[in-house]
Structure 1
Amino acid sequence: MTETIDTILSRRSVRKFTTDEVTDEDIRTILEAGRWAPSGLNNQPWKFIVIENKENMNELAECTHYSHIILNAPLLIAVYLDTETMYNKTKDIQAIGASIQNMLLACCDLGLGAVWLGEILNQSNKVNLILNCPDTMELMAVLAIGKPAEIGKNSTRKDLNEITYREKYGEIF
């Protein structure tokens, strides 16, 4: 297999981090990976907010049931849809998903751990106030990133024959 495929297959969500900071060089690499995701019409509808300040993290932790993850992470990246550059909401949200996946894979490749926090979207208005975001920015996710404090757990996936069809739905692949 190629290094890319190995990274995709070995990436796991990491929820516990060491106290080591993430370097500015690694942060830039992660953001570059996110920036180079595909997007319809190359509109690049994403905006990223890098959060390292513990006071901001403490406030954000109050916006989710997963506060322990946020409080333990040395780095957060809030990922937003910029509705002013949006041309098709579905396509643009898909592009942001690709951007997030690129960042998660970059973290894995850099020896960092990360987890995609989506439950925080339930409190997006509070998050926007904390991060001083205009109404034109729609929260899509927060990534918690750091050096893994534990090895990623094993994971399973459904068999391909459970989720894949040939030519038409119902015809076994």
Structure 2
Amino acid sequence: MINDTNAVLRAIRERRSIRKYTEEPVSRDHLTAMLEAGQWAPSGLNNQPWRFLVILPGDERREELAQCTKYGHIVRNAGALVCVLLQREAMYSETKDHQGAGACIQNMLLAAHALGLGAVWLGQIINDQAASLGALGLSPDDYELQAVLAVGHPAQRGDSQRKPLTELLLEDF
């Protein structure tokens, strides 16, 4: 059982994917705090190959991006979208850089939770890199989209279950 008195461990356990948001705008300060949390993720050789693109309501790229995923309704209704990309020129190891991007995304999701925001990691959108990057006006020669985080003030409570740890261990320790 994770210690309830430790804020980080509690946030890891309590964070949920939130897919419905209120109309309240997401502040620039909250978005900056999320981006800074992502910025501090570990990366191999400290290369920090991630790049961020924030899409706010009213941005014409939002609708085109929504058409790149079966979760377009989430893209359309989020208070903000944070696109997490890897800059190819900054990458040195595909596997390590993908792992680093995952850590970056998790940091941002935990930051959103800590700020009282709701967020969800949209991964299906990366299946068509050409369309998604085209919607953002970016070249697949320069960038690889890792995820789009839909962020907003939660209009729902998240729910999740986890398998018992004993089911995940290959052997007891």
TM-score if structure 2 supplies the norm length? 0.93
Q: Cα offset for 1:136?
A: 1.5
Distance, in Å, in 2 between the alignment partners of 1:152 and 1:122 is 25
Q: 1:144 aligns with which of 132, 150, 156?
A: 150
Alignment correspondent of 1:4: 8
Q: Deviations over 1:1-51 (max 9, x none)?
A: 300011000000000000111100001000000000000110001000000
Q: Cα offset for 1:133?
A: 1.2
| 2:67 matches 1:62 | yes
Q: Cα offset for 1:156?
A: 1.1
Q: 2:125 aligns with which of 117, 120, 139?
A: 120
SS of corresponding position for 1:141: strand
Distance, in Å, in 2 between the alignment partners of 1:109 and 1:91 is 27
Distance, in Å, in 2 between the alignment partners of 1:83 and 1:123 is 17
Aligned length in residues: 167
Runs of 4+ deviating beyond 3 Å: none
Matched letter for residue 172 of structure 1: D
Matched letter for residue 24 of structure 1: R
Distance, in Å, in 2 between the alignment partners of 1:130 and 1:53 is 15
Alignment correspondent of 2:50: 46
Alignment correspondent of 2:32: 28
Alignment correspondent of 2:98: 93
Matched letter for residue 34 of structure 2: I
Quick one: percent identity of the two aligned structures?
Answer: 51
Distance, in Å, in 2 between the alignment partners of 1:151 and 1:81 is 31
SS of corresponding position for 2:90: coil
Alignment correspondent of 1:168: none
Distance, in Å, in 2 between the alignment partners of 1:56 and 1:44 is 26
Distance, in Å, in 1 between the alignment partners of 2:157 and 2:92 is 40
Matched letter for residue 65 of structure 1: K
5+ residue gaps, structure 2? none
Alignment correspondent of 1:81: 86
TM-score if structure 1 supplies the norm length? 0.93
